[in-house]
Amino acid sequence: MRPSAAAGGGGGGRRKAAAAAAAASREWLVVPASGQARVEEAGKHAVMARTGLPARDLRVLDPLLSYPSTILGRERAIVVNLERVKAVITAAEVLLPNSKDPAFASFVCDLQARVLASSSDQAAEFTDMEGESSAVTSPFPALTSTTPNELEMTNKNSNVVGGMTHSNSMPTLTAAKDGNTKVLPFEFRALEVCLESACRSLEEETSTLEQEAYPALDELTSKISTLNLERVRQIKSRLVAISGRVQKVRDELEHLLDDEMDMAEMYLTEKLTRQEISETSSRVEVDDPSQLEVDRDEDYRSEADVSNGTFIGYKPHIEELEMLLEAYFVQIDGTLNKLSHLREYVDDTEDYINIMLDDKQNQLLQMGVMLSTATVVITAGVAVVGLFGMNIGISLYADPSNEEEKRASNMKFWETTLGTIAGCTVMYIVAMGWGKRSGLLQ
């Protein structure tokens, strides 16, 4: 019984390990420089080995965790987390966590179209410069049909981890100059698509909110009701949420524009170029052993500077990335200004509603003062009536014995009644005049 139980326990452990491994792996949509997207399944460690990213950077892409808008430049990759756009950009490909969201499908189509258009432009430029067509090769040679010798040579320059291949050589699509025209590197073209998608999404949400907010606010100013107040409350909640998201994207772009070293870190193609030059120079044979040692030390320092991203003694031309970021910074700043104007309109509407409510409250208070004054005056008349209603003997209550006494008695009654009413009216008018003179009433 014990061996079988142990065997069963071992089988359960293997099943748990397999389940853990399956849970760790996830689907990634890979868009290479050729533009032909494909779906691959890989675990966290495979992606880390492929992109050179630490585990904390991959957590930014986890859809179950909430992270603010972030653009991180690392040694071999750029991590983008902008709204619904989550991507890892390398010098040769873009890795996207696979999703069934329609917005994700639209983003992938835009990315493929931009990459393919850039590939066509690059091929046309190479044809004009070299006189022959430049075919776009796949940045994943280990995944294409090659001969065994070619595959062996390819694997020497590549890192294959868990069925995913990362080539250390430069991609086919690199920055090229033709007079004053310069083609952006692959990583910047992919980054531009990410920025454009995030900014466009926020712009569309802002436009939709504006179309709903302004009519609702105008209707509220014309008619204050519970339904209109509830609509404005929901609009204000959406406004606060969208403003926070736009502000986070703007702050991230502003942070990148203020830090030149962060922008220099994103030049992945240029860093690969310098690394290849450094590796090539290190293989040059010299006759003088002492000179060889000096060259090795210089190459080592150069490689260390590139790998650490410090760029000591070398400052890349960051104008391209700076202009790219500034363009979308202006766009997202315009979106934030629209939201600010809408917020001001909401605040002005709230102030106007408060003023209207205060005016209504003042009118009610004035009515209350007038009614209270009328009550006091009427109470004075009631007091007079109460005095005459007492069971006391006075000449006014004496029964008249003749017609003259009857007429005189009736005259006294009407004089008393009309006098009481006139006295109450005069008291009320005097009270109202004193209230207006003292500012209590308008």
Q: How far is CA 427 from CA 362, 375, 424, in A?
A: 24, 11, 5
Give the span between the Cα atoms of 112 and 193, in whole angstroms: 10
pLDDT tens digits for range 289-303: 555 454 555 544 444
In the predicted model, what is the mean pLDDT of residues 370-388? 83
Burial call 322-333: b when 16+ CB within 10 Å, e when fewer: eebbeebbebbb
Collapsing DSSP to helix, strand or coil, 135 comes out as coil
Residue percentage of the chain with pLDDT more than 90: 23
In the predicted model, what is the mean pLDDT of residues 349-368? 88
pLDDT tens digits for range 217-230: 999 998 888 999 99
The set of residues, in sequence order, having a beta carbon less than 8 Å from that of 11 and lying 6+ positions away, is none
User: What is the pLDDT of the chain when averaged over all its residues?
Assistant: 74
pLDDT tens digits for range 136-165: 333 333 333 333 343 343 333 333 333 333
Alpha helices in 259-288, H assignment, sequence order: 260-265, 268-282
pLDDT in the model for residue 216: 93
Q: Which residues pair with 88 in a beta bridge?
A: 79, 95
pLDDT tens digits for range 60-96: 888 777 778 889 888 889 999 988 888 999 988 888 8
Give me the sign of the Cα torsion angle 122, 124, 128, 134. positive
CB atoms within 10 A of CB 408: 12
Check pLDDT > 70 for residue 247.
yes
pLDDT tens digits for range 196-205: 999 999 999 9
Q: Which residues pair with 27 in a beta bridge?
A: 41
